Amino acid sequence: MMGNKRAFLIVGNRAVTGKLNLNDLPGSAGRMDIMCRCIASALFLSHDVRRDVEVYLLLLGPPDPPKAVRVVGGKVRYMAPDERNIGGILSKALTVKVDKGWKQSTPGVYVARKSLEELLDELIKKYEVYYLREDGKDIRDVGFGENSLFILGDHIGVREDMEIVIEERCREIISIPTRKLQADHCIVIVHYELDRKQREGV
Ligand SMILES: C[S@@+](CC[C@H](N)C(=O)[O-])C[C@H]1O[C@@H](n2cnc3c(N)ncnc32)[C@H](O)[C@@H]1O
């Protein structure tokens, strides 16, 4: 059976957890440009949105880490695929007073105080978890279940202590041969590979 629902979790090692300077997403916002591109790649088709996709960001930068953001493709409104627009929506989410439960900031966008462990323990109830790393099993050799969550790092990757948390909970480490890619490009390729498998009924 092939995946019906997909989710992506991107670790933002330095991505800020307060209001963003939209003129400086790559700098003072701690590479929030990567987070914005990952959301765009995960959710947007040409003139359409993937309604069966969720994106989770784990933001670990100052001033108030950790924060998790959840963007639900089927519910999101007023979002365009450009970094500035998505950055504005994230900035609003990051001014919400957070606790452990998800709070909606704008339609389809939620924020909570969650560590990687807490977030993954929640997500493994809904998804089979796959960790994307260069040395993993070729994505073409993996049989995916109904609902799959893919974890990716940002420009820094994923810290070793976090890898342990992920490896304890993931079904497989998977790779996209044969080069190290940017996280948002990986997301496009994951969609491509799963869309093909879905079309072929694999
Ligand atoms: C720009 S890369 C990380 C670079 C970082 N300096 C490192 O060496 O881990 C961003 C993320 O994309 C994913 N990634 C990049 N290339 C990949 C590949 N060929 N196969 C699987 N995942 C990949 C990984 O999750 C990685 O953490």
β-strands 48-49, 44-45 pairing: antiparallel
* 122's tokens: 């929640």
- pLDDT bin (cut points 50, 70, 90) of residue 108 is very high
Q: How many domains does the chain have?
A: 1
pTM (two decimals)? 0.97
Look at residue 200 and tell me whether its pLDDT is greater than 90.
no
Three-state DSSP state, 156: coil
CB atoms within 10 A of CB 84: 12
| Nearest-angstrom CA–CA distance, 145 and 128 | 7
Atom of ligand 1 nearest to the CA of 152: 25
- Whether residue 202 is contained in a domain is answered as no
- Whether residue 162 is contained in a domain is answered as yes
Residue with the smallest CA separation from ligand 1 atom 9 is: 157
Query: pLDDT for 27-76, tens place per residue?
Result: 999 999 999 999 999 999 999 999 999 999 999 999 999 999 999 999 99
Question: Residue 93 is part of which domain span?
Answer: 5-197
**pLDDT, the chain, mean:** 96
Residue with the smallest CA separation from ligand 1 atom 8 is: 157
| Ligand 1 centroid distance, CA of 153 (Å) | 6
Domain at 179, CATH number? 3.40.1280.10
Look at residue 183 and tell me whether its pLDDT is greater than 90.
yes
- Whether residue 190 is contained in a domain is answered as yes
| Nearest-angstrom CA–CA distance, 158 and 156 | 7
76 Cβ contact partners less than 8 Å away, ≥ 6 residues apart: 43, 49, 107, 108, 109
- Whether residue 133 is contained in a domain is answered as yes
pLDDT for the residue numbered 176: 98
